[in-house]
């Protein structure tokens, strides 16, 4: 009874985390980026959960904690790359979305790999020197670090392109947002000046 309740709550927490991430990324970037990031996260969770099954690790709180930590770790890497993509597009140095993505990945690659290697070696030490109790957390995290890094670099940005991301539409949306913000600012100044 406790085991099945734990699994249900764990799966629910994973689903809620994915929904919250999708809403945040949609608000901050664009729906294609949000969907791409969630697809990459689902990919990460499926591969790590599969490794838990392959290595015959009991599904317990440590595994669920590792999966939730992996989601946070992977989305952090993905957001950094998406943020750099947005900077590349707003600088208007790049001609198309593919070039913006390539430039963004190139400029964040060193940071991403150094961060991933740092986490990887810490978790590797936990795997090697930790007790059997912590293997439910450390082994999924070890595999998840590798999977999360490669999905942030290779899967999420490419899925955004496959979903039809277009820089011209992006520029139109950004221009609309800027115009709307300028109109709000103008109305605020008129209101403060007593003219409205």
- DSSP assignments along 54-66, one per residue: HTT---SHHHHHH
Burial classification of residue 99, based on how many CB atoms lie within 10 Å of its CB (0-12 exposed, 13-18 middle, 19 or more buried): middle
pLDDT at 167: 75
Please tell me the distance from the alpha carbon of residue 80 to that of residue 55, in angstroms, as a whole number: 32
pLDDT at 96: 82
pLDDT at 75: 92
What's the predicted TM-score (pTM) here?
Answer: 0.81
pLDDT digits (tens, 9 = 90+) for 127-179: 999 888 899 999 999 999 999 999 999 999 999 989 988 777 777 777 788 88
pLDDT at 78: 93
Residue numbers in the chain where pLDDT is lower than 50: none
Dihedrals phi, psi of 163, to nearest 5 degrees: -80, 0
């Amino acid at each position: 009874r406790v085991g099945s309740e734990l699994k249900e709550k764990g799966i629910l927490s994973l689903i809620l985390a994915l929904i919250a991430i999708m809403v945040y990324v949609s608000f901050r970037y664009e729906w294609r980026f949000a969907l791409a990031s969630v697809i990459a996260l689902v990919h990460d969770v499926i591969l790590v959960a599969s490794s838990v099954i392959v290595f015959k690790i009991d599904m317990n709180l440590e595994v669920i904690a590792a999966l939730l930590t992996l989601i946070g770790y992977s989305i952090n890497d993905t957001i950094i790359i998406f943020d750099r993509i947005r900077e590349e597009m707003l600088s208007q140095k790049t001609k198309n979305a593919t070039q913006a993505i390539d430039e963004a990945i190139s400029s964040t690659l060193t940071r991403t790999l150094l961060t991933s290697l740092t986490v990887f070696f810490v978790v590797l030490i936990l795997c090697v020197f930790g007790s059997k109790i912590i293997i439910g957390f450390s082994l999924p995290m070890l595999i998840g670090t590798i999977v999360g890094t490669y999905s942030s670099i290779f899967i999420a940005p490419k899925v955004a392109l496959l979903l039809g991301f277009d820089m011209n539409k992006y520029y139109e949306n950004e221009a609309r947002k800027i115009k709307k913000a300028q109109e709000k600012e103008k109305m605020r100044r008129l209101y403060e000046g007593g003219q409205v």
